[in-house]
Copies of this chain bind each other. A is one copy, B any other.
């Protein structure tokens, strides 16, 4: 995660994510980010006018079709976006002409994607375009698209073509056969059918033009039905095109074409559609929102992840589930993994239980596929597929096939060995039942899932005469770096054991409450009281690795594998597996994702074996450093964040949280183009609620035991538990405010009165400069580079890279070596700041903060450090500051004004109302550029550019500072 290298950052407000520039190199990642949907379909954020490299997609739940190697995939459906706008013969597209301004934004609250572009055509005509689109959250078969067109400097003819593109592709492959198209008086329609699965789909499209003369014509080009209109427009005349599209498949209705046409004919106006859509979103957010104050980036990122989950869950269909990449991209081909049950489901269980029920019922409907899989492998009962699609049959590819004709193919073993999926599903079913008390579901659906998979485990375990114990051999546990000779994986064995325990409980519950249902199931699944006893025997005698020390061995022999020091591979942008190879990964103590820790997390809520706080600590210390948390699996960071939070490791907890929360928004793993990381999104919700909110689900009702990240002033959400809503409003400091989002004004001269103060952290409030010095010194010593305190003075206000360059002098290092040294130094620094305490506040700092609070002046931190939040926390002043702008907040570092502007915005103040305290020249420059008052701390030659120069904060009272600023203000007026 190297955010400083991102060329074009997104802007975050409480509810809206804004893309202020168009960068073609981010095209595919941003198509994912700006995905919209409604639980029926998802549509990637591709441009209406098209782009040569576009990877447009509309994916509809359950529409799968055969494809080689991976068996089946979610089918890219006809594209409803194409809108070709031609200005006096020039086609509008961002790769031609000139983009004069651009802003795209996704309004999460209202589920609306919009874009404003000012564009100059190759012929020199300038035009304003404003696009808006939504997939109706109120009526899942309705899509809507609006374009407002305003000539700026010309009058002339404009042509608009709105099409249904019947040639969508899954990375080149078009699953559809066109079987009809035509026009009615309401618009055009297209009817297509998948090649193998024979699913029919129909779309109908209507167009409305206002603000100019013109009526839509139709052009029925084969497979590409088009509505076209042309009109004449003058400067400042806004013409509006509204395009509404209806969609049905043969999964929904018998006659999709008829349904799409009828629906189109009956639609209300665009404005009414939008208002119904917004009402539906309002309802969804009422129960699913999480409010965070004091950290706008976290606020937006959490809402963004929730939004992506809400648009992925089917409202009216219990035969589908959420694919690993939701309905937003082609990664994993729309297959469903344990990601849904373990990572995503809790969000739905506790905020949208009806949707959770749908998701779990998918596993009931795919039991037959799981039975076929069990039979294929020679086992009994139901063996769920590692990758599942429409039928539940195993669709994990057998091979990864290289393009190089001489390279060897790679066998993928998950289909055969990653059997914990069956227990994961039972775990989810059990916990849904516990949380909702939905006995009907358990009786009608859940019991059959849990019992028939218990039958599978019974046939899968082996009795070892030698050890007099049951064993499970040759598996892949949660950690996928180990796929050969993994016997008695503690994750797998314990979940299997837990599963059998719960199966017995379900059996007994049925026997007591629903004997007829039990009798039916006994017959259907061939369950007998003897088998129940057998399960008990297995649950009792299944060997679980453990040790008296509390350190759990991941599987038999794991501790005998060669150890690894992951730091040896830093810096890197690839997984450890990619660096050392699959076979070497198998031979080392390196994990792709938490495994023993994952088990501890799964047992944490119910405090079952082997969970204990001590076990978490012991195993964390061993396994966390051996886990490839950055590039291994995207499933890891959220889990590590929760456990780190439990362990009081607030730096790491927050860092892992942000890593997961920004995985798509900021593409921290480099694969956002393939689609939303659904499991990570679900994990984020668990971090906030179970980790930071510390929610414990006792037997009576949920209880919060919060440890909010540094700077968070409020955390508010609600949970549905056993039929009731439980509201949580966690506020460490009730006086804190909720900043209103605002756009920073252009820099201007500061003015009085002063309403806020922004402190640089390092060298102003604390002397972490000392920790930086000690970290650099340690690095320099290791590298045998000359360095001392004098040399350190030159590093003040200098970036990490420049500091390093000063230290290495003319010694030659490769770029990779330099990168590694910077990371190493930061590691030392992070270690050191764990020890920061209120004693580290510089003289005068605390007094000044208290005076400011009394004076009603708002305060913020404005530090380039990514560690600012934990440092503020450890300094004990978190309650005294109203906002924190840190290394995550903006793209451009000081001397750019961005960081201070961000802080002012967080405080809800104009820049001119703020004073900045800075000790570095670049910081002073940044404050001045922001149009703020600058107070320089230190020698004149360093901070002399500031309005006011002080030696330090020692003995400096707010009244004195105000006076000095006042003087400077008069001077400024005199000079002007």
Contacts and interface: CB of A to CB of B under 8 A. Distances in A.
A82 B224 CA distance: 13
Count of chain copies: 2
A221 interface: yes
Interface in A56-91: 66, 68-69, 71, 82, 84, 86, 91
B403 A409 contact: no
Contacts of A394: 405-406
A222 interface: yes
A399 B405 contact: no
A220 B91 contact: yes
Interface stretch (A172-180, A422-430, A448-456, A817-825): A172-180
A134 to B, nearest CB: 23
A393 interface: yes
B406 A376 contact: yes
A399 to B, nearest CB: 7
Interface in A397-417: 398-399, 401, 403, 405-406, 409
A372 interface: yes
A47 to B, nearest CB: 12
A570 interface: no
A750 interface: no
A588 interface: no
Interface string A613-634: 0000000000000000000000
A312 B457 CA distance: 60
Contacts of A223: 167, 224
- Chain A interface residue count: which class? 35 or more
A395 B53 CA distance: 28
A403 B221 contact: no
Interface in A195-237: 195, 219-224, 226, 228
Given A52-B178, A69-B69, A173-B172, A163 B221 contact: yes
Nearest to A65: B172
B393 A52 contact: no
A412 to B, nearest CB: 12
Contact of A399 (B165, B219, B399, B406): B399
A222 B406 contact: no
A161 interface: yes
A405 B69 contact: no
B393 A221 contact: no
B221 A401 contact: no
A932 B591 CA distance: 90
Nearest to A95: B179
Contacts of A228: 219
A50 interface: yes
Given A84-B220, A222-B50, A69 B71 contact: no
A169 B223 CA distance: 13
B405 A393 contact: yes
A226 B220 contact: no
Contacts of A393: 405-406
B220 A221 contact: no
Given A68-B69, A69-B69, A403-B71, A169 B174 contact: yes
Question: Most B CB atoms within 10 A — which of A177, A221, A403?
Answer: A221
A71 B179 contact: no
A191 to B, nearest CB: 10
Nearest to A415: B405
A510 B86 CA distance: 66
Given A52-B179, A174-B172, A163 B222 contact: yes
A567 to B, nearest CB: 37
Nearest to A376: B406
Contacts of A68: 68-69, 401, 403
B405 A409 contact: no
21 contacts: A52-B177, A66-B403, A69-B401, A71-B405, A82-B222, A84-B220, A84-B221, A91-B220, A165-B222, A167-B174, A172-B174, A172-B195, A173-B173, A219-B219, A221-B224, A221-B226, A373-B406, A393-B405, A398-B401, A398-B409, A399-B401
Given A167-B223, A376-B406, 20 more contacts: A52-B177, A52-B179, A53-B177, A69-B401, A71-B403, A82-B222, A84-B220, A167-B167, A167-B174, A169-B174, A172-B173, A172-B195, A219-B219, A221-B226, A224-B224, A372-B406, A394-B405, A395-B405, A398-B409, A399-B401
Interface of A: 50, 52-53, 66, 68-69, 71, 82, 84, 86, 91, 161, 163, 165, 167, 169, 172-175, 177-179, 195, 219-224, 226, 228, 372-373, 376, 393-395, 398-399, 401, 403, 405-406, 409
- Please list the 8 inter-chain residue pairs (A to B) with the smallest Cβ-Cβ separation, ordered nearest first: A167-B167, A376-B406, A221-B221, A172-B173, A173-B173, A71-B405, A394-B405, A221-B224
